[in-house]
């Protein structure tokens, strides 16, 4: 891992993170063993068409499962290592598939959320935005929660299946990938498109590619470095500075 540590220390790093990073904070992955979609039908809990037909289905899932996870989850050493890299000027930004806000909680300032955030909400009718605490207060009153202004149903600020990724976030992520010296992919299975195109964009633009994951990915053949292991164990090692001689 020495060569990868040197590449990180040279700067110009862009991180691309997936569910494996947050798993060590107690948030299950989606497709792995014990993942959300092995227990809950994604066609009902994560599809925009189903949400618009019966929003109570999603909101009962949020109330009974997701809300508790959001409140209990704390940044783990992988999150804090990335924030430290940014503080040292080595990391340009974090591009994430995660919706939990743990990168920001760890201190990362430039975070591009490709799949939105489960800490922001809005009214389907008037567009008024709500913070997590406000949405929870509305949820305590009725299911599904409704807007205090117009009575419209609230929706989470996530990207449901069947929705496009936010264009601004995608454009920013692609630009970062093209300019990166090193793309550091952490905890992503790289099977969800179009987000999984980012390593290819970086590689074809001249970046070096490092994959930190506990399982093989479709991009392994493109990688300059592959580190098998848990993100919370690997990342602190990558940013640990040598003691003075």
Residues marked active site are found at 115
Please report, to the nearest 10 degrees, the dihedral formed by the alpha carbons of residues 183, 187, 188, 189 taken in order: 130
The secondary element (H helix, E strand) that includes residue 200 is: helix 198-204
Angle at CA 95, nearest 5°, toward 68 and 2? 105
DSSP code for 62 = I
**Do the Cβ atoms of 151 and 177 come closer than 8 Å?**
no
Structure-token match 């925009």, residue found? 48
**Do the Cβ atoms of 101 and 119 come closer than 8 Å?**
yes
**Do the Cβ atoms of 169 and 114 come closer than 8 Å?**
yes
User: Which two tokens mark 21?
Assistant: 């990073």
How many Å apart are CA 183 and CA 210, to the nearest integer?
A: 6
Neighbouring CB atoms inside 10 A of 114's CB total 21
How many Å apart are CA 44 and CA 49, to the nearest integer?
A: 9
How many Å apart are CA 184 and CA 210, to the nearest integer?
A: 5
What is the gyration radius of the CA atoms in the chain, in angstroms? 19
């Amino acid at each position: 891992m020495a060569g990868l540590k040197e590449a990180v220390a040279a700067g110009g790093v862009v991180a691309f993170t997936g569910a494996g990073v947050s798993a060590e904070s107690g948030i299950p992955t989606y497709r792995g063993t014990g993942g959300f979609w092995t227990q809950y039908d994604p066609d009902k809990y994560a599809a925009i068409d189903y949400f618009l037909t019966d929003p109570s289905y999603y909101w009962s899932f949020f109330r009974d499962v997701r809300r508790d996870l959001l409140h209990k989850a704390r940044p783990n050493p992988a999150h804090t290592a990335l924030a430290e890299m940014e503080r040292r000027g080595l990391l340009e930004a974090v591009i994430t598939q995660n919706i939990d806000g743990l990168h920001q909680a760890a201190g990362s300032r430039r975070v591009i959320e490709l799949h939105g955030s489960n800490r922001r909400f809005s009214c389907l009718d008037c567009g008024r935005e709500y913070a997590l605490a406000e949405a929870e207060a509305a949820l305590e009153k009725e299911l599904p929660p409704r807007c205090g202004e117009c009575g419209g149903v609230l929706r989470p600020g996530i990207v449901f299946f069947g929705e496009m990724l936010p264009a601004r976030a995608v454009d920013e992520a692609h630009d970062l990938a093209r300019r990166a010296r090193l793309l550091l992919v952490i905890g992503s299975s790289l099977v969800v498109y179009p987000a999984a195109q980012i390593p290819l964009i970086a590689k074809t633009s001249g970046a070096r590619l490092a994959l930190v994951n506990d399982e093989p990915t479709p991009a392994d053949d493109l990688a300059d470095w592959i580190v098998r292991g848990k993100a919370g164990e690997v990342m602190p090692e990558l940013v640990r500075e040598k003691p003075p001689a």
